[in-house]
Amino acid sequence: MANEQLVIGHDFNNGGGRYWIELDAGSAELTYRNRGDGVIVIDHTFVPPEARGGKIAQKLVERAAEDARKSGLKIVPQCPYVNLLFKRRADLNELRAD
């Protein structure tokens, strides 16, 4: 599946939320919780094994970062994958919460 064809869904409540993409191999997801004080904590990403290597998790992180930026939020990248992306990309790392 080409990245430009991916449809990313988003569920949100005051306690946190979930971004997801439905794939032939199953659901890919990123979950987060609202820490308060204008900060969200991204605590989990998952991509079905058959769909790995296609930058699916990266697309989920980019969408979460875009939404956080629009809302004036900072991010704690608790998930190891998200933390690695934040270290590699200045455009994401600027959203890192103290």
- What is the pLDDT, as a whole number, of residue 27? 97
Kindly state whether residue 97 falls inside one of the protein's structural domains.
no
Kindly state whether residue 73 falls inside one of the protein's structural domains.
yes
- What is the pLDDT, as a whole number, of residue 33? 97
Give residue 6's pLDDT band: very low, low, confident or very high (50, 70, 90): confident
Write the pLDDT tens digit of every residue in 22-63: 999 999 999 999 999 999 999 999 999 999 999 999 999 999
Round to whole Å and give the CA distance between 77 and 61: 10
Q: Give the count of domains, the chain.
A: 1
Kindly state whether residue 50 falls inside one of the protein's structural domains.
yes
Collapsing DSSP to helix, strand or coil, 6 comes out as coil
Kindly state whether residue 96 falls inside one of the protein's structural domains.
no
Round to whole Å and give the CA distance between 77 and 72: 16
Give the domain range for residue 16.
Answer: 3-91
Kindly state whether residue 13 falls inside one of the protein's structural domains.
yes
In the chain, which ranges are continuous DSSP H helix?
Answer: 56-71, 80-88, 90-93
Q: Are strands 39-46 and 74-77 parallel, antiparallel or unpaired?
A: parallel
Token output for 42 = 């991204």
What is the value of pTM for the model shown? Answer: 0.92
Lowest mean pLDDT among 11-15, 46-50, 63-67, 79-83: 11-15
- What is the pLDDT, as a whole number, of residue 47? 98
Q: Which domain CATH number covers 31?
A: 3.40.630.30
Give residue 3's pLDDT band: very low, low, confident or very high (50, 70, 90): very low
